[in-house]
Chains A and B, each alone.
Chain A
Amino acid sequence: MDLFGVISQLVFLLVAVLTLAAGLATVLLRNVFHAALALVGTFFGVAAIYLMLEAEFLAIVQILVYVGAIAVLILFAVMLTRGMMQTEDSNINSQWAWAATAIGVLFVGLFILILQVPWKISGQPVVGDTTPALGTALLTTYLLPFEVVSVLLLATLIGAFIIARE
């Protein structure tokens, strides 16, 4: 393995560990606000993963939408429901052990599966700018889903407004 390979793997591992750590923090931190901040960290980590996968556009969208919008929404919600933020009792519910067991089994199963399945890899390099092709694809091949998603967003806008207003 050459130098770049080593560095790449190291970078990947670093990012992966940070991402997972942030994810764990999200799930485990008692303070919901801190958890939300950790979630933001996870989002950044995932954006970095996208960058590694040469999906720059998606990485930027990830930051724009997840960090810029969803995380802010979550922070908002946390602040609006402040009564729950610093409770003394546990932040984990009574079924956590069952859940952890099931999820442990799930993870092990998934891991085995990932290692066992012979994934088909084409290995084509990404040459050139993917964004124009992506735009074309959205407005030609995926036009219908695109429109449906637009309508969904509109419906969400109205729905959120109606649900949340006094």
Chain B
Amino acid sequence: MINDIPLNYFLSLAAALFCIGLFGSLARKNAIAVLMGIELMLNAVNINLVAFWRYGSPDPILNQAGIVFALFVITLAAAEAAIGLALVIAIYRSRDTVNVEEINLLKW
């Protein structure tokens, strides 16, 4: 596998996924969709981490920094999702909307 698929494939895929996620979080109106975009970005980052582990690690068994990092990212993603969605629900409850453009109390 490693000899058949160049690293660039994975990196390009990750970059594309990251850009898609970034677009989602920048351009969607729905706050939940924004969060989904962020999840996509995190996943893209994880792909990169794992790919570098697989291709770059001098000893993939003993040196699993990439995997460990990806695990932590997943954990943080879970935490982020929990808090973020709790916030969205709280906002929805008080303002009756999840449109990010309408959640702009902190403007001038």
Contact = CB atoms under 8 A, between A and B. Distances in A.
Classify the interface of chain B: helix, strand, loop or mixed. helix
Contacts of B3: 5, 123
A77 B32 contact: yes
Contacts, number: 254
Interface string B1-39: 111110111111101111111111011111011011101
Contacts of A9: 4-5
A103 B26 contact: yes
Report the contact-size class of chain A (Cβ under 8 Å from the partner).
35 or more
A76 B92 CA distance: 13
A49 B7 CA distance: 12
Given A12-B9, A125-B2, A130-B60, A70 B77 contact: yes
Given A81-B88, A103-B19, A52 B1 contact: yes
Interface of B: 1-5, 7-13, 15-24, 26-30, 32-33, 35-37, 39-40, 43, 46-47, 50-51, 53-62, 64, 67-68, 70-72, 74-79, 81-83, 85-90, 92-93, 96-101
